[in-house]
């Protein structure tokens, strides 16, 4: 049954927009009238119609739409609960689409439901929105459908998405304090050098006395800020934009990511985060019944470091040729020994998916501990730097005053 977007007026004259399923536009208009709504516009929304209307009436590309990690986790959890309760996939999709308040998410679910009702599998229907439901998600759902354990697979995907969201949220919350301190430090130093120091300099300029070296240094810094401060800010912004643009070049990004894997501190964080994502994804796919080679191909897509992703792809080729997973990953030289030992144990005991899940949790915890330690040090370090800078400026102002008093005496 196709879905239709509508715009209608209620009894108070307010405009309402939404999505309704019906056999035809005429039937949808009748449904709206039964709801005491006066239809103004009814447009077909289907896989062939790639337009959508948001709350403000602006159009956007449905098939380019994305779901945030938290939105995908919520939708997946609701679907798993309803399917486990005995509802069919079509009924579950309809119920969740009515539950959600986002018109974009509602349209996605209704369109997916329409494809399911046309006879397509749930996983095949999700391909209508590849950015909202990535390959990992679709492959896992397909494996769950084939094995007859769709609700279990959906629960696993919901757990995975929720863990991703919580990890990212903890990192964002931990970075708030250091970022605020950095902004305050730059603002205070800029204000002192740009406005306070020049006024003080005018006082000593008329005395004709020789200024201390520290005071002259601060005056030079103040003159530089006043003369070239704006240019420095613009230059920094352009440098950041240029660097981000260069990261879009495959060759430069590959070399940069390779260097990141050898830098102190950053290497441990990059390896830990990427290996945790790889192991977690591979665990979900493996436990869902996806063949190991195919699971490795899909899992390589979640590895953000391009050099490490290349190593995973090379390991995939070796596994396809008959090598064990542990041996293939060990040859790359970038995966931690503990991970390799646990994978070897899982392969020999037939519990690879469980071992991968443990590895992912352990690596993620290590990354979070390292990040928390670094962020806990950044705060005090920023305070020390800001205090030292302010103390230096104050001393640069006080020294000429002290020298002047000595001359008077």
Q: Which of 7-11, 94-98, 395-399 has the highest mean pLDDT?
A: 94-98
Tell me the three state secondary structure of residue 285: helix
Residue 381, token pair as written in the block: 């370090």
Q: Give yes or no: residues 144 and 159 share one domain.
A: yes
The CA distances from residue 177 to 180, 188, 371, in Å, are 5, 16, 14
Residue 185 pLDDT? 81
**Residues 214 and 174 occupy one common structural domain:** yes
User: Of the candidates 84, 72, 68, which has an alpha carbon nearest to the alpha carbon of residue 112?
Assistant: 72
Q: What's the mean pLDDT in 308-330?
A: 91
| CB neighbourhood size of 36 (10 A) | 10
Tokens of 362: 């352990």
Number of other residues whose CB lies within 10 A of the CB of residue 265? 10
d(CA 171, CA 165): 10
Q: State yes or no: pLDDT of 51 exceeds 70.
A: no
Highest-pLDDT range among 35-44, 254-263, 292-301, 389-398? 254-263
According to DSSP, the residues that pair with 21 across neighbouring strands are 3
Domain boundary among 49, 64, 79: 64
Distance CA(153)–CA(289), nearest Å, equals 10
pLDDT for position 53: 35
Residue 163 pLDDT exceeds 70: yes
Confidence at 48, pLDDT banded by 50, 70, 90: very low
Quick one: 265 and 313 in the same domain?
yes
Q: What is the mean pLDDT of the chain?
A: 81
Same structural domain for residues 102 and 147? Answer: no
Residues 111 and 260 in one domain: no
pLDDT of residue 101: 80
Could you give phi then psi for residue 107, rounded to 5 degrees? -65, -40
Q: 77-127, pLDDT tens digit by residue?
A: 999 899 988 888 888 988 898 888 888 888 888 888 888 887 888 988 888
Pair 33, 154 in one domain: no
For residues 136 and 144, give the distance between their C-alpha atoms in angstroms, rounded to a whole number.
Answer: 12
Among 118, 133, 148, the domain boundary falls at 133
Tell which of 133, 150, 176 closes a domain: 133
Residues 309 and 382 in one domain: yes
CA dist 131 and 223 (Å) reads: 51
Nearest CA to 47 out of 63, 23, 64, 67 is that of 63
Count: domains in the chain: 3
Within this chain, do residues 44 and 96 fall inside the same structural domain, yes or no? Answer: no
Give the HSE-up count for residue 241: Cα atoms under 13 Å, Cβ half-sphere: 6
pLDDT digits (tens, 9 = 90+) for 254-270: 999 999 888 888 888 88
pTM of the model: 0.66
Report the CATH number that the domain containing residue 174 is assigned in CATH: 1.20.81.30
* Digit-coded pLDDT (tens) for 212-238: 888 888 888 888 888 888 898 899 999
Verify that 223 and 125 share a domain, yes or no: no
Same domain, 230 and 373: yes
Do residues 59 and 79 both lie within one domain? no
Residue whose tokens read 């239709």: 4
Look at residue 2 in the predicted model and tell me its pLDDT. Answer: 64
Pair (233, 286) in one structural domain: yes
Backbone angles phi, psi at 36, to 5 degrees: 65, 40
Q: Which range of residues forms the domain containing residue 110? A: 67-133
């Amino acid at each position: 049954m196709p879905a239709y977007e509508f715009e209608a007026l209620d009894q108070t004259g307010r405009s309402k927009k939404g999505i309704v399923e019906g056999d035809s536009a005429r039937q949808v208009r009748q449904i709206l009238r039964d709801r005491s709504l006066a239809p103004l516009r009814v447009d077909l929304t289907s896989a062939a119609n790639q337009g959508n209307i948001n709350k403000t009436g602006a159009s956007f590309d449905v098939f380019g739409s994305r779901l945030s990690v938290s939105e995908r986790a919520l939708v997946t959890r609701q679907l798993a609960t309803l399917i486990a309760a005995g509802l069919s996939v079509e009924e579950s999709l309809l119920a969740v689409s009515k539950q959600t308040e986002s018109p974009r998410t509602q349209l996605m679910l209704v369109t997916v439901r329409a494809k399911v009702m046309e006879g397509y599998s749930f996983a095949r229907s999700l391909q209508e929105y590849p950015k909202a439901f990535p390959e990992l998600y679709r492959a896992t759902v397909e494996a769950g459908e084939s094995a007859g354990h769709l609700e279990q697979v959906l629960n696993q995907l919901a757990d995975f998405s929720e863990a991703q969201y919580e990890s990212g949220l903890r990192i964002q919350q931990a970075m708030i304090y250091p970022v605020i301190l950095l902004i305050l430090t730059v603002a205070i130093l800029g204000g002192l050098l740009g406005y306070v120091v020049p006024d003080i300099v005018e006082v000593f300029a008329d005395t004709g006395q020789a200024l201390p070296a520290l005071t002259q240094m601060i005056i030079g810094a103040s003159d530089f800020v006043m003369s070239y401060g704006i240019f420095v800010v613009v230059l920094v912004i352009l440098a950041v934009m240029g660097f981000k643009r260069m990261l879009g070049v495959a060759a430069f990004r590959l070399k940069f990511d390779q260097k990141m894997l050898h830098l102190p501190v950053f290497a441990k964080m990059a390896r830990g985060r990427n290996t945790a994502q790889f192991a977690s994804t591979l665990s979900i796919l493996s436990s869902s019944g996806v063949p190991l080679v195919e699971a490795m191909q899909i899992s390589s897509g979640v590895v953000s470091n391009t050099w490490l992703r290349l190593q995973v792809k090379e390991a995939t080729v070796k596994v396809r040729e008959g090598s064990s997973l542990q041996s293939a990953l060990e040859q790359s030289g970038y995966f931690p020994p503990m991970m390799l030992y646990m994978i070897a144990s899982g392969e020999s005991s037939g519990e690879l998916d469980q071992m991968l899940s443990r590895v992912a949790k352990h690596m993620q915890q290590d990354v979070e501990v390292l990040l928390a330690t670094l962020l806990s040090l950044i705060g005090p370090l920023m305070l020390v730097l800001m205090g030292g800078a302010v103390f230096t400026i104050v001393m640069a102002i006080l020294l000429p005053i002290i020298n002047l008093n000595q001359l008077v005496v």
